[in-house]
């Protein structure tokens, strides 16, 4: 494990975040999680683009140019010696006495990064996981990767209390995404997922599936808002996220998805994604 805080490498616990940091008080900040595999950041440019977009949308000034950010990621991998793990990056709006409105000119963003190894056995996810459905109670700009994750935290906790891996969220009758991931459905060999608008986070893993893996396997993708009925009757369902990759869902609300086994299209996509990850080709 290696931690970077505002321009220097620090021991965990060495630095104290100010009690007036807006990230601490308001969740006023953005973050990214990038997979490190074979000693390299996977799909780094996508994470970088999403981070700068989140900062633009949040009106947080960029202090570190893209080349330096990339170099810092590479240095962290090299210095930590971690070849299989992830890098967490967080930028808050900075420190000022608590007041909702901010003055951009008086704030210096706080930047935290750390690299940690992945210790759990991710391969067991291939056997499929259970999901529950929950209402999507988030705000209308979840396309911005902000630190404010209260509805996600509550939904994920509810899911785990029911021994599910995660929750599938529904905004009214529409399946948006997972509590910590994107959601895909397969029906009659066609892949469906919610369009990348303000109602979902445009996941990098999702982008890899939609623009690279599915086309290379000849799988048609339709980006549309799917109803609860459609999701409940899907042949296959899966989650995607940076850490777990493609995660088959074999049970939804205690009912089997399809025949209750990870589906064939899901597993082809999973294999295709793993290949991409192993080759570092993104």
Give the separation between CA 91 and CA 5, rounded to whole angstroms.
10
Question: Does the annotation count 130 as an active-site position?
Answer: no
Q: Distance (Å, rounded) from C-alpha 32 to C-alpha 49?
A: 10
**Contact map string, positions 179 to 208, toward ligand PMP, x by CB under 6 A:** -xxx------------------x-xxxx--
CB of 178 to ligand PMP, least distance (A): 6
In this complex, which beta carbon is closest to ligand PMP, that of residue 4 or of residue 44?
Answer: 44
Under rule CB under 6 A, residue 73 binds ligand PMP: no
- Catalytic residue among 130, 145, 202, 255, which? 145
Rank residues 110 and 180 by Cβ distance to ligand PMP and give the closer one: 180
Query: From its phi and psi, is residue 200 left (phi > 0), alpha (psi between -120 and 50) or beta?
Result: beta
Residue 110 sits in the site that holds ligand PMP (CB under 6 A): no
Least distance CB 34 / ligand PMP (angstroms): 9
Q: Does 136 bind ligand PMP (CB under 6 A)?
A: no
Q: Contacts with ligand PMP in 237-256 (CB under 6 A)? A: 240-242
Are the C-beta atoms of residues 239 and 183 closer than 8 Å to each other? yes
Site for ligand PMP in 204-233 (CB under 6 A): 204-206
Pairwise CA distance, residues 237 & 191, whole Å: 9
Q: Give 4 or 273: the residue with its C-beta nearer to ligand PMP.
A: 273
Of 21, 28, 136, 177, which one interacts with ligand PMP (CB under 6 A)? 177
Q: Is 236 in the site for ligand PMP (CB under 6 A)?
A: no
Is position 85 an interface residue for ligand PMP (rule: CB under 6 A)?
no
> Is residue 104 packed enough to be buried (19+ CB in 10 Å), middle (13-18) or exposed (0-12)?
exposed
CA separation for the pair 110, 92 (Å, rounded)? 5
By CB under 6 A, which span of 51-59, 235-243, 255-263, 270-278 interacts with ligand PMP?
A: 235-243
70: alpha, beta or left, given left = phi > 0 and alpha = psi -120 to 50?
A: alpha
Nearer to ligand PMP, 112 or 183 (CB): 183
Contact set with ligand PMP (CB under 6 A) = 152, 177, 180-182, 201, 203-206, 240-242
Instruction: Return the active site residues.
Output: 145
């Amino acid at each position: 494990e290696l931690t970077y805080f505002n321009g220097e490498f620090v021991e965990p616990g060495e630095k104290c975040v100010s009690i007036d940091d807006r990230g601490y008080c308001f969740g006023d900040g953005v973050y990214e999680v990038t997979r490190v595999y074979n000693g390299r950041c996977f799909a780094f440019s996508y994470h970088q683009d999403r981070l700068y977009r989140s900062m633009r949308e949040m009106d947080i000034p960029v202090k570190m140019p893209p080349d330096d950010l990339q170099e810092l990621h590479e240095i962290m991998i090299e210095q930590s010696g971690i070849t299989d793990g992830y890098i967490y990056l967080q930028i808050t709006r900075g420190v000022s006495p608590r007041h909702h409105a901010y003055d951009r000119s008086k704030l210096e963003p706080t930047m935290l990064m750390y690299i940690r190894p992945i210790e759990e056995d991710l391969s067991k996810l291939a056997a499929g996981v259970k999901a529950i459905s929950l209402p999507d109670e988030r705000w209308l700009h979840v396309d911005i990767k902000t630190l404010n994750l209260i509805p996600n935290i509550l939904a994920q906790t509810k899911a785990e209390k029911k021994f599910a891996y995660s929750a599938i969220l529904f905004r009214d009758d529409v399946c948006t995404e997972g509590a910590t991931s994107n959601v895909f459905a397969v029906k009659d060999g066609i892949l469906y997922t919610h369009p990348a608008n303000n109602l979902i986070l445009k996941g990098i893993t999702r982008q890899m599936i939609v623009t690279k893996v599915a086309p290379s396997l000849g799988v048609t993708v339709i980006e549309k808002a799917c109803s609860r009925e459609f999701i409940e009757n899907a042949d296959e369902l899966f989650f995607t996220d940076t850490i777990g990759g493609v995660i088959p869902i074999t049970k939804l609300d205690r009912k089997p998805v399809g025949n209750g086994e990870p589906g064939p299209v899901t597993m082809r996509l999973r294999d295709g994604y793993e290949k991409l990850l192993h080759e570092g080709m993104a």
